[in-house]
Amino acid sequence: MLLSAAEGYVIGGERYYCVVESQLPFLGISVDEMESLPGARSVCCWEGGVCGDCVESLWPPIYVARCVGARGLEELIASSCIQGGLKGVSRQEHVLERCVVFLRLLSALFKMRINNEVMFKRILEGLLRITLPDCIVGVESHPRFDVSRVDIFIECRDAAVAIDIKSPKDIRDTPAKSTPDQIAKTFMHLRESYQWERKPVAFIVIPTNGQPIPYFYGIGEREKGYIHLLTLLTIPGLEKYCKKMEREQDRPFTLHELLYALATAKVETIHIEERELARFFRRHLDTAEL
């Protein structure tokens, strides 16, 4: 519930999730519970509330926001998912269907640095089953597509999605030149399997540590809209897209809808990652020049 309602902020160079104090009772969370979470702090905000500017001290405050450290909260949730097998998470199915919440949970999973592909797949597949109630997650066979070529296969009424999970070792051991071709061939096989149904498809690569995959930029421009990367660099951009759609539609934007957007090239994650990497290198070059 907290991940669903909170807004992300950078305060004093650290990331936080903040909620207006008066909203806590509606979330079923007490002030004491908030204060017990990792990196808890209070901030006072003026016009715009949590959506505006916040500082440590302002009197009289228009809003008081309760905040928790993003990294600590994400790690706490991820470790709970691993230890509890998603049992506690499943009680909040309607909340988890929001793509913003799923992306934050995936970010937490990355920060656990689970380099074991089998464990990562088990947790991710369990989370997807909860967040995609209208889709079939983990399809074991398909009349035309060889599902053994990917780690997780998702069949929805309006889209099909194949997910390839890569550990750091897998990325290191795979020749950089052959990987774009291999990914493109699997994607084309997926697209051809659905051409008669005219169902849009997406191919998603997820590194277990959430780090960029350099050789991905060998993917052809024609396929870049349908082949996607979910990493710590692309998640903020996807979260912004989900929030934009929620404002436009005035309702929660679901993970199912995000997958359809990826399958119809409404969002291009490779371009998001390229842009974020360029910003990263520019910042470091500027720092080096100083």
Domains assigned to the chain? 2-69 (no CATH), 85-280 (3.40.91)
Lowest mean pLDDT among 5-14, 135-144, 203-212, 226-235: 5-14
Peptide bond into 25 cis (omega under 30): no
CA 85 from chain centre, in angstroms, equals 19
pLDDT at 49: 46
pLDDT score for 67: 81
Minimum mean pLDDT among 43-47, 74-78, 250-254: which range?
A: 43-47
The predicted-structure confidence for 109-146, as pLDDT tens digits, reads as follows: 887 778 888 889 988 988 898 889 899 998 888 888 88
* pLDDT score of 31 more than 70: yes
Strand bridging mode 201-207 / 160-166: parallel
| pLDDT given at position 172 | 77
User: Could you count the other beta carbons within 10 Å of the beta carbon of residue 158?
Assistant: 14
pLDDT score, position 46: 53
CA atoms within 13 A on the CB side of 163: 21
Give yes or no for residue 81 having a pLDDT over 70.
Answer: no
Q: Which of 68-82, 119-133, 156-170 comes out lowest in average pLDDT?
A: 68-82
Q: Which two tokens stand for residue 124?
A: 């991710």
Write down the pLDDT at residue 208: 93
| Cα 211-215-220 angle, rounded to 5 deg | 120
pTM over 0.85: no
Mean pLDDT of the chain: 79
pLDDT at 48 over 50: no
